[in-house]
Amino acid sequence: MDTTLIDVRTADRQVVDLTVQVAAWCAGRGDGLCSVFAPHATCGVALMETGSGSEDDLVQALRHLLPRDDRYRHRHGSPGHGADHLLPAIVCPSLVVPVVGGELQLGTWQRVVLVDLNVDNPRRSVRLSYLPG
């Protein structure tokens, strides 16, 4: 299995499209599986359509489900930071994408994204792992 770590800046974005980076890393590898993993306690990765307003809709839905207020027992960091620690239970920290002939096998509108509502950490890493078929 081959693996690498990519750095992601999230300071001004809650949904960051990683598809180009993931596809470039998988290019030429043949058939296999690409694992995308966010090794953090407050963010996750997802497959979704981007560029149509869906990113803002997702952020709004997550903020509705996980309000940033003082209801959480986990209270360090910015106000409502306890909500950030619940996010990976809703948006999984990992996903696997099939790769055929070195190309990600995503649906027409699917993109690989990092979802991060945590304003306390503007830099993230995402681990890509490739398991050949």
Asked which of 76-80, 99-103, 106-110, 124-128 is least confident by mean pLDDT, the reply is 76-80
The per-residue pLDDT for range 11-26, each reduced to its tens digit, is: 889 999 999 999 999 9
Q: Where are the domains of the chain?
A: 2-132
Amino acid 28 reads G
Rounded to two decimals, the pTM is 0.94
Q: SS3 letters for 80-117?
A: CHHHHCCHHHHCCCEEEEEEECCEECCCCCCEEEEECC
Mean pLDDT over 31-41 rounds to: 98
**Rounded Cα distance, 91 and 105, in Å:** 21
Whether domain 2-132 has CATH 3.30.429.10: no
- Percentage of the chain lying above the pLDDT 90 cut: 87
Mean predicted confidence (pLDDT) in 24-33: 97
Residue 75, pLDDT above cutoff 90:
no
Which pLDDT value is given to residue 79? 83
Looking at residue 72, its pLDDT comes to 86
